[in-house]
Chains A and B, each alone.
Chain A
Amino acid sequence: MSERSLQLVLRLVAIFLYLGPLLVAFSVHKGNILAMVVPSREQLDRVGQKMEDLLNFSENVMQKESYRLNENGGEAVVRFANPSPYPILLENFTGYSVCKEHGYPLAWFQLKEKVKIGPGENGRLEILFYPTPGASFHVLLGHLGFWPETEVENGLMEIEMLRAKIKIRVNQHGT
């Protein structure tokens, strides 16, 4: 065999090694090029479902267990149900507790400490309240000294999930 023939044989072998597996792919999918390139429908559907579950926070995610607020401040315990199939770290939850009737800011609140919640599990969030300077005056004049019902305004929940930092604005009524 001459060097030239060897060169030709090697070229043909190289072409066969690339084309052979491609022909196998064609025959497996009976010439359906789209099916050859795109992942299966089942795979795409499974990921689509997981993406939907990722941030599926409904109104039932948070439920108040206890709540106390007066002129000296206060605290609340809220049960937080992690609806996602991944663990989450609740890094902070801040906002204003405002008078439900007048919308007057009575206290600023924040999460006492970070809370890690496993997938599908419940976590207890301890929230601390710090009265605003005019809170007592508003309660005295507007509510005859009785602390009124409040709701959350400008709430911001900071969550870490799958190394993603997520900020959710919460304006929940009837806290």
Chain B
Amino acid sequence: MELKINLGLIAGALMLLLPFLGPWWQASLGEIARVRISPFGYEINILGESFSSTLFDCLLFGVKLSFLLGGALLLLGSLFPNKWWSRRFVRFGATKVLWLVISLVCVLLVAASLLNRIVPSLAEGKGKLMFNLPYLSGSSVVEVSSQDVEIKVPLQLSFTWTFWLAVVVGALGLAARVMSGRMKVD
């Protein structure tokens, strides 16, 4: 019983922190372009110019609000495990992190797959382009060459420590949810 409450408490508290701990994943193309994303925000910077999209801004703001609510309810549900609403609160918040982790990984896999197909075709007839985007994390070199110019730019992709913290929080949340099924209700 003690373990169950603590897991929910820890997961809930960390859920309230996660949206403010920065990006979960980042990519850089030399110093030409940089992308940093998390389920709560994104930063796309090309040659010092930041890009934004109202749709994504609003969508991710909604995710952030929903996530914070989930974290607060998980915390409450874990603090008062014997209340009639406890189980519902825990269930509402417990798996949110895990779904966000899975969603982010899926989005990155789909994006890498699409870019690896689309980008090389953009250079057809204009020169030679070697583009091999690593899946999820890793490094490679983008090569562009024409008759007189050859450009090689390092490409680096990596998860940040925040992502791995989210994975841990997701596991804690899942454990809290599994245990909430065995709670006794007043």
Judging by beta carbons under 8 Å apart, are A46 and B49 in contact? yes
Do residues B62 and A21 form an inter-chain contact, with CB atoms below 8 A?
A: yes
Interface range, B side: 35 or more
Stretch with Cβ within 8 A of B (4 or more), from A36-44, A92-100, A136-144: A36-44
Q: Is the CB of A22 within 8 A of B152?
A: no
Instruction: Knowing A17-B62, A25-B58, A162-B32 are in contact, say whether A39-B149 is a contact too (CB < 8 A).
Output: no
A38 to B149, CA, bound (A): 31
Q: Which residues of B contact A46 (CB under 8 A)?
A: 49
Q: Once the chains are docked, how many angstroms separate the CA of A22 from the CA of B63?
A: 11
The answer to whether A164 touches B55, judged by C-beta atoms less than 8 angstroms apart, is no
Decide if A28 is an interface residue (CB 8 Å cutoff): yes
Q: How large is the interface on A (under 10, 10 to 19, 20 to 34, 35 or more residues)?
A: 35 or more
Taken residue by residue from 42 to 84, chain A's Cβ proximity to chain B (1 for < 8 Å, 0 otherwise) reads as 0100110011001100000000000000000000000000000
A17 touches B66 (CB 8 A): yes
> Mostly helix, strand, loop or mixed at chain B's interface?
mixed
Q: A3 and B84 in contact (CB under 8 A), knowing A164-B32, A165-B151, A166-B150?
A: yes
Does the CB pair A47–B49 fall under 8 Å?
Answer: yes
Asked, given contacts A36-B54, A164-B30, A164-B32, whether A55 binds B149 with beta carbons under 8 Å apart, the answer is yes
Residues of A bordering B, CB below 8 Å: 3, 6-7, 10, 13-14, 17-22, 24-25, 28-29, 33, 35-39, 43, 46-47, 50-51, 54-55, 162-169
16 more CB-based (< 8 A) A-B contacts, given A14-B92, A25-B57, A166-B151? A13-B69, A14-B66, A21-B58, A24-B58, A25-B54, A25-B55, A25-B58, A35-B54, A39-B52, A43-B50, A47-B47, A55-B149, A162-B30, A166-B152, A167-B149, A169-B149
26 A–B contacts from the bound complex (CB under 8 Å): A3-B85, A6-B88, A10-B73, A17-B66, A17-B69, A18-B62, A18-B66, A19-B62, A21-B59, A21-B61, A25-B54, A25-B58, A28-B54, A29-B54, A36-B53, A38-B53, A43-B49, A43-B51, A162-B30, A162-B31, A162-B153, A163-B31, A163-B153, A164-B31, A168-B148, A168-B149
